[in-house]
Amino acid sequence: MMRARVAYAGAIHEATPAREAAAHRRTASNIQSGERNDDVRLADGRVVVAEDVVWLPPFEVGTVIALGLNYADHAKELAFNAQEEPLVFLKGPGTLLGHLGMTRRPAGVKFMHYECELAVIIGRPAKQVPRDRAMLHVSGYCIANDYAIRDYLENWYRPNLRVKNRDGGTVLGPWFVEAADVPDPGNLALRTWVNGKLTQQGNTRDLIFDIPYLIEYLSSFMTLSPGDVILTGTPEGVVNVMPGDVVACEIDGLGRLVNSIAADADFGR
Amino acid sequence: MPADAGCFSIPFDVPPYRLSGAVYGTLVNHRSGLTLLGDAVNHPPYNAPPKAPVLYIKPRNTLALPGSVVSIPRGTPELEVGACLGMVIGRTACNVSETHALDYVAGYLIVADVSIPHGSFHRPSIRFKARDGFCPLGPAVTARAVVANPDALTIRTYVDDVLVQTAGTADLIRPAARLLADVSEFMTLTPGDVLALGAAAPAPRVRPGQTSRIEIDGLGSLSNPFREAAV
């Protein structure tokens, strides 16, 4: 099952795809027939156009744990050598954003890029969990787009928060997809489109540290709680994005997460 | 937001009356940190002194109360205790000016930033700082109105009642208002968030069986015993 959290007409609602089977697949036939794949059905029965709701991160988010350089190709792209231990960093609640939100690009920066990632959501507390039991602690998945502004990179406690923990720089959604509906999270294709042009492609089978390993590793020193989320890293193909650009991240079976880049003026700066 | 609502029971008698569970810390913000690094800041892997505030996050699993036992992992002889002044946010702070920054502060408390000692600050593993219980806070949030000047406080750290470090917030590279202004330029802080201003270096070390105690003028003291982990 896929579910979203949306704000509509004065309240926050749980929403499901109005056409569940087609939610992540726009086919020629239903475009011709005028049916929309992205309408949502609120728990109270109303069916609403996707653009008429405000999409929130699709679950109550706890600790945000992110992986750097967890795809061999992306590590190569950024000129990194093999690692002994996952490169993990943390993100705060202020950085979270929902589907169709805006991310600010400050004037004057040279390189701001998206990162399409599989987000793994913890459902049961996990403390010292071995890898063969790790997946029992996963409640579901969503798409994450973890923006970075490389201009601000400094060599102190990398990646520093000014690069990776900016307001609106962590987009999650559109749907929370239950783990039971994702039979093989280790083989999902990821794609990013900028203004309709395909710029990034990868597959979670190329993760350097896979999901069971990450849960075993993290839970060996920190207790994971329901709502904690692991952003598993991004493959190669990150490109610069500018105000006005529309960035769409897709993962097989999880849908399409869209957001746009905004300029300082949109934020009164 | 935290699953373990432990930090919510810290007395907090001014709005918003409770912590949010988000705790941010600042590194190399005390002059002693840069002094200790010396010329190393100009060489690899750093290549330059920090420009923006060097920040990190203490996730919810690290938050702990005064008196809670800090568990030292097996094979680790001792831990570092970074004694910090923590600012508690009172009003949503987004892109605030240095002049007005302290208007956004509800109060102050003591933060013990516990770490496994590590030599490199380039890209250290989060397992050094994000272990369960590695961020005791308290003993209470003291209202901003009671603290005349957050930039003139003495922080004393004791191990088993022996004074091991005396540091002052007067020696911070970015004092409270400046730090909050620089941080809020790119990340909005919300009521109940904590921003720790940074510890002096080298941080005192604590071994199993010992107890740390941090005192800050007017804020009381934060004491925590350290024990070797059972497993």
Output the DSSP codes for A62-109: --EEEEES-BHHHHHHTT----SS-EEEEE-GGGEE-TT-EEEE-TT-
Chain A contacts of B4, Cβ < 8 Å? Answer: 225
> If you average pLDDT over residues B181-203, what whole number do you get?
97
Chain B contacts of A266, Cβ < 8 Å? Answer: none
pLDDT digits (tens, 9 = 90+) for A44-54: 999 999 999 99
> If you average pLDDT over residues A13-30, what whole number do you get?
64
Who wins on pLDDT, B80 or B230? B80
Third-level CATH fold of B5-228: Fumarylacetoacetate hydrolase; domain 2 (3.90.850)
Chain B contacts of A154, Cβ < 8 Å? Answer: 48, 50-52, 54
Share of residues in chain A with pLDDT > 70 (%): 90
3-state helix, strand, coil in chain A (%, to 5): 20, 40, 40
Chain A contacts of B20, Cβ < 8 Å? Answer: 93
CA–CA separation, A11 vs B197, rounded Å?
A: 38
Chain B contacts of A89, Cβ < 8 Å? Answer: 126
B229, B75 contact by CB (below 8 A): no
Is the link from the previous residue into B45 a cis peptide, with omega within 30 of 0? yes
**A31: enclosing H helix or E strand:** helix A28-32
| Domain boundary residue, one of A54, A70, A85 | A54
Give the residue on B whose Cα is nearest the Cα of A128: B231
pLDDT band at B230 (very low <50, low <70, confident <90, very high): confident
> If you average pLDDT over residues A16-34, what whole number do you get?
55
> If you average pLDDT over residues B155-181, what whole number do you get?
97
Q: Is A164 helix (H, G, I), strand (E, B) or coil?
A: helix
> If you average pLDDT over residues B154-171, what whole number do you get?
97
Nearest Cα residue to A246 out of A264, A231, A258:
A258
Do residues A21 and A106 share a domain? no
Give residue B5's pLDDT.
54
Judge: B54–A157 Cβ closer than 8 Å, yes or no.
yes
Number of domains, chain A: 2
Give residue A69's pLDDT.
87
Do residues A232 and A170 share a domain? yes
Check pLDDT > 70 for residue A82: no
Do residues A87 and A48 share a domain? no
pLDDT band at A74 (very low <50, low <70, confident <90, very high): low
Q: What Cα–Cα distance (Å) separates residue B6 from each residue in A121, A255, B17?
A: 23, 37, 14
Do residues A117 and A29 share a domain? no
Check pLDDT > 60 for residue A134: yes
Check pLDDT > 60 for residue A225: yes
Give residue A130's pLDDT.
98
Q: What Cα–Cα distance (Å) separates residue B113 from each residue in A191, B80, B117?
A: 40, 8, 12
Give residue A29's pLDDT.
43
| Domain boundary residue, one of A10, A28, A54 | A54
Nearest Cα residue to A157 out of B179, B36, B201, B27:
B27
- Domain extent at residue A153: 59-267
Tokens of A259: 């957001």
Contacts of A26 (CB under 8 A, 6+ apart): A37
> If you average pLDDT over residues A92-117, what whole number do you get?
97
Give the residue on A whose Cα is nearest the Cα of B53: A162
A254, A188 contact by CB (below 8 A): yes
Q: Which of B50, B54, B189 sits opposite A94 (nearest CB)?
A: B189
Give residue A22's pLDDT.
47
Largest CA-CA distance found in chain B, in angstroms, rounded: 50
Do residues A104 and A68 share a domain? yes
Task: Please enumerate residues of A whose Cβ is less than 8 A from a Cβ of B.
Answer: 60, 62-63, 65, 85, 87-95, 125, 127-128, 152, 154-158, 160-162, 165-167, 220-227, 269
Who wins on pLDDT, B225 or A34? B225
pLDDT digits (tens, 9 = 90+) for B118-154: 988 888 999 999 999 999 999 999 999 999 999 999 9
β-strands B135-143, B63-64: how paired?
A: parallel
pLDDT digits (tens, 9 = 90+) for B62-109: 999 999 999 999 999 999 999 999 999 999 999 999 999 999 999 999
What is the nearest CA distance from B12 to chain A, expressed in angstroms?
21
Do residues A159 and A216 share a domain? yes
Do residues A27 and A149 share a domain? no
> If you average pLDDT over residues A215-240, what whole number do you get?
97
> If you average pLDDT over residues B188-193, what whole number do you get?
98
Judge: B59–A221 Cβ closer than 8 Å, yes or no.
no
pLDDT band at B1 (very low <50, low <70, confident <90, very high): very low
Check pLDDT > 60 for residue A110: yes
Check pLDDT > 90 for residue A31: no
Share of residues in chain B with pLDDT > 90 (%): 90
Judge: B132–A158 Cβ closer than 8 Å, yes or no.
no
Q: If you count residue pairs, one on A and one on B, with CB atoms under 8 Å apart, how many are there?
A: 112
To probe the interface with A, which of B46, B126, B231 has the most A CB atoms within 10 Å?
B126
Q: What Cα–Cα distance (Å) separates residue B114 from each residue in A81, B82, B154, B195, B199?
A: 30, 6, 19, 15, 11
Tokens of B78: 């001792």
Mean model confidence pLDDT for chain A: 91
Q: Please report where in the chains the tokens 């109360």 appear, as a residue.
A: B65
Chain B contacts of A60, Cβ < 8 Å? Answer: 1
Do residues A178 and A229 share a domain? yes
Do residues A31 and A120 share a domain? no
